[in-house]
Every structure is written in C-alpha cells, then in structure tokens.
Amino acid sequence: MCGIICYCGHKQAVPILIEGLKRLEYRGYDSAGFSIVDKGKNKIVKAKGRVSRLEEKKIGLAMNSTFGIAHTRWATHGKPSEINAHPQTDCANKISVVHNGIIENYLELKKELEEKGHRFKSETDTEVIPHLIEENFDGDLEVAVLKSVERLRGTFGIAVLHADIDHQIIIVKRGSPIIVGVGKNEYFAASDSNALAPFTNKMIYLSDDEMAVLNTSGYYIKNLKNELLEKKIEVLDASEYKIDKRGFEHYMLKEIFEQPESVQNAYRGRLIESEGVSKLGGLEPVINRLKNINKLIIVSCGTSYYAGLLGRYIFENLTELNIETELASEFRYRRLKLDENVAVLAISQSGETADTLAAIKEAKRKGALLLGIVNTVGTSIAQITDAGVYNHAGPEIGVASTKIYTSQLVILTLMALLIGRYQHISFSEGSEIINALTGLPGQIREILSNAKDIKEIALKYSKYRGFLYIGRLYNYPTAMEGALKLKEISYIHAEGYPAGEMKHGPISLIDKNFPTVAIAPDDLTLDKMVSNMQEIKARNGKILSITNSATQKVLGISDDTIIVPKTIPILQPILNIIPLQLFAYYIANERGCDIDKPRNLAKSVTVE
C-alpha cells in the first residue's frame, strides 16, 4: 500500500526520488519522506500529506547527493505524522530504512532492543528494523541486514542505507513487491514499475527472501542464505507506463472512457472465430491438467471479488465445473479439500494483493493448480501461479477500479469458453459468445456518448446520504460493484444487495430519502425485479433503473432510467456497470471529493 523508490548513480538523487514518489501517489498514502547521504551525513526530509508538501520542504536545502531512498506511507501502526513517516532511523541517525508491509513481532523486538538501550521515537513497527540493523552492525551492512531480517516475522519490502557507507543501498523482499531497475551506470529500486518507467525499462522482479545490493559499479542479487543469484532482466514496453490524464479532469474518468480499448485488448488475439473458441497462451502450459479439473475456486478481494462472483455465474453457465468464490482474506481459515483436481484462480489488479497472495500460497501447499489474472507483468501473483492471463489494460491510476474490472470479466469469459468448448459448449454457442464479445467496444462507446445525460441524473441524486443497489443473477455482483464505486469515491453509504433478499432486512431502510438503483435488464429475472421495484415504490422509495430495453414494466415504476445496449446475459453486466461508474464519478465530483485519491484507500493493498 505504501510506495518505495531508490536511486544510486551519478545524478542528483532528490529530483529522481521526488518524481518516483509522484508516480506512486495513486497507490494511496498519508505522508512521504526521503533520506540521502551527503558528506557522510544522513539528511532526512519528511512531510505529512501529499508529495507536493515534501517537495516544498526541501526547497533551499543543499542536496547534492547521488544516492538515496524515499517512501510514501499509508498508516498501519501509528497515526499519519512526520514522526511516523518513513524513513525511520536508528539511535545514531546513521541507518535509514523505508518499509512496505507489517512486522508482526515488532513489539517483542522493540522490548528487547529497548532493554539494550535503544531509544524509539515513532509509533511504527518499521522503526525496529533500523535499530535491529544497528545492533547487528559491525562494519558490514550486508551482514547486518541479513542477520536482522532473520528476526523479522511478517511481510516486508525494505530499502536500507548507512551514512558511513558511500553509494550502497540494500533491498530485501518478503511478501511485498520490490523491483530493481537497471540504467546506464545507475541503478534503481521501487515497489512499482510505474515509478521506474521515466528512468529505465530494464527491470528485475525480486522473489521472496531475496536481497539486492546497489552501488555505483553495479548490482548483485542474493538469497537470504547469502548465495548469489542470476536473475533475468525484463525489458518492458515503455508505452504501457505513460501516465497522463489526456485532457480528462481525473484519471478515473479517463479510465472509464478507455474501456472500449481495454475491453478489446482483453480479447485481442485471443479468439479463434473459425472454431468458436478462445486461445489463451498463458494457459497453454497447463491445458492438459486444466481439462481434467473438476473444481475451480476463485479467490480475490474488493472489486476483483465482485468480478469473481460474476465469474462464478459465467463458469457455471459455460462449463461443468463445480465453482466456488471466496474472499481471499477468509480463504486460508477454511478447511478446504484441495488436490491436483482443483484449480484456484487468483484475480488481482495489482498482482500484489497481500490477502490473495496468502490464499494462493495456502492452495499451493495443498497441491492445487494455481491460476492468475493480473494486469502487471512480473508481479508476485504472476510469479507464484502455475499459469495465467494478463489484462493488457495499461496502468490504472484511479484508486477505484473501472477498466480493470470490465477487463477481468472479459478474461473470465474467455477462460470459461476455453474450458467449456472441451465440455458441452457447441461451436454455435461459442460463436455467439465471440460475436457478443467483439460487439462490446462499440456498445460501450454508445453508453459513453450519453455521459452528459448520466451526469444530469447523477446531479439529481448527489444530495442523498444513502443508496440501495439491487440486482439478480448476473447483476447481483453488478449491484455490489456499483455500490462499492459510490462508497469509495463519494463517501456516501451504499449497499449492494441481491434483490430477492431485500425483503429480509434492507427494505426497512426504504423511504423517500433513501433511493434505490435497480439493475433490471430484459432477461429471465425481469418480472421478479419489477416485483421488487413495486415493493420499493409502495414505500415511497425513489428508483433509478438500469435496463437494456424501454419496456413499460421498468419505465412505469422508475423515477429515472438509463438504457444501455443489449447483449447476451453473461456479458450484460459489462455494459450495465459503465453508467454506474459514471454515476458514482459525477456524484463524487459534485461533492468536491478527491476522486483519484479517496481518503483511507490505497490502490495496491499489500498488507493483510
């Protein structure tokens, strides 16, 4: 959830560190800081709030150092403040550490170190790391770091420098992402490839329990047994990491409008129309095993979990597999029978979601086939899974996911179609799905062309303090995701609910001041949805309906209606969610909310 950027080279470090931090802002944070070494002294600047505040604080300070580490913090232990911001240091202010993750045994380590005379200043778990390194330091920083991380329990990506050791930065990864960037006589490290994109496209993805040592003469990588490793350098397409708003007011709005392209990229080159089937190169290494599984468990969190919920319906429709969808944060606590005939599919936008990583590590212990859907090459989930599929959606900067969600739904459909064609799905059925998939970009453009009308409706509803979202079958998860979007960026309470369950509790909330968003497409659930809507109207509730046909059944009982194009039922939620994304965006914008960086949230959730 936090962000790390490090530099070791021949240029001034501070401008590079600040630029890297700015490119990490989308991840969510509450404070920032950096540490550089200049003439044997550790210079640290920290600020509560945005990176721009940190940039202001360093103005006028002499900072000519050519190596340093920097960090954006999302508070876990200790409130947002300058004291709790990273870097954290040791007693002598010689050792600086930035850290992503959580040290689970920090209290016992802190007590032990305090008994040895160490003085702590912050409320953070991170501060035990520099003090532990100080305790183990005897002139060799590498040895001290290795001895120290042996004592740490939990997850961490850390960067360490020492004021007495010129141009040396040590990086260690366990459960929290760290990438090494290789430039021309200069070396970088970061928690996110976006931070490195302006400086190099050559990157090395560290695996758990690996350490990288950067200096001006080069770099080397070891495991925590102090054995040298050879790691492949990945050369990334720099065009995938361009970050700009392209004239839109917010990244989120830009990303909503990018969905015709991101949906197309999700299926581009992955359809064999002449055979009515999909082709997923990332699954080919395990295709024989995939044909023989009898159960698929989808694990994910947040928006990706709602994609997984819808994925369950899609797989049940197209395959003969037994399907379960699990919140990754709860998966590891269940007693599940997993074996070689079970596949566990992890869905994660960042590829680093801590709960999802923990879930698939548990599945790996029990012998399940591990699959993944992620957007970023080389991430932890991509490394640990046996096979998977990339979104190819480009960077998503807005914290509230939009284009990745719809991309995930397309890929889930492709995966289900691939397996289903080995089972009961016919060529004609496969062709129908392919035709519907290729029609989606044009249909999404049609919805986006009506954005002004959706904005007008959103403004009518922007003063309400609570909403109920309801749907059935494929659109039950859509209701959950639509409500989540409104909650995330507008701070308005919204509850997504299966429409049939409304009468078992939520209907007590309905009155003239509590509107309902009803997702009521013209499908086999329409009559039941209309009945639920009638129940709301009988209690003076306002209704905004999302439908794909202008039937009098829906129009007659709706206060406002948004009509979207019609497609096959399993893909209809992709079209239905677009107006709900816009609805949430326009309400949040009207309320003056920080849409791209909503309070308390982070883009990449790397702590459990």
**Largest CA-CA distance found in the chain, in angstroms, rounded:** 80
Catalytic annotation present for 8: no
Q: Which one is catalytic: 2, 6, 301, 593? A: 2
Q: Which of 110, 487, 542, 603 is catalytic?
A: 603
Phi, psi angles (nearest 5°) of residue 196: -95, -15
Strand partners, 467: 494
Q: Which two tokens stand for residue 205?
A: 């993805």
Q: Which of 25, 72, 597, 2 lies closest to 354 in space, CA to CA?
A: 2
CB 179 within 8 A of CB 236: no
CA angle, residues 144, 150, 155, in degrees to nearest 5? 115
Rounded CA-CA distance 406/262 in Å is 8
- The span from the CA of 96 to the CA of 33, in Å, is 11
CA distance 570 to 415: 13
Q: How far apart are CA 23 and CA 46, in angstroms?
A: 18
Q: Is 48 a catalytic residue?
A: no
Phi-psi region of 584 (alpha: psi -120 to 50; beta: other; left: phi over 0): alpha
Do 214 and 6 touch, CB atoms closer than 8 A? yes
Within 10 angstroms of residue 452's Cβ, the number of other Cβ atoms is 9
- Pairing between strand 342-348 and 369-374? parallel
Q: How buried is residue 44: exposed, middle or buried, by Cβ count under 10 Å (0-12/13-18/19+)?
A: middle
Pick the closest to residue 478 from 419, 391, 527, 548 (CA basis).
Answer: 548
Q: Are 126 and 5 in contact (CB under 8 A)?
A: no
Q: Which of 249, 210, 247 is nearest to 232 (CA)?
A: 210
Calculate the CA 90 to chain-centre distance: 33
**Catalytically active residues, by annotation:** 2, 603
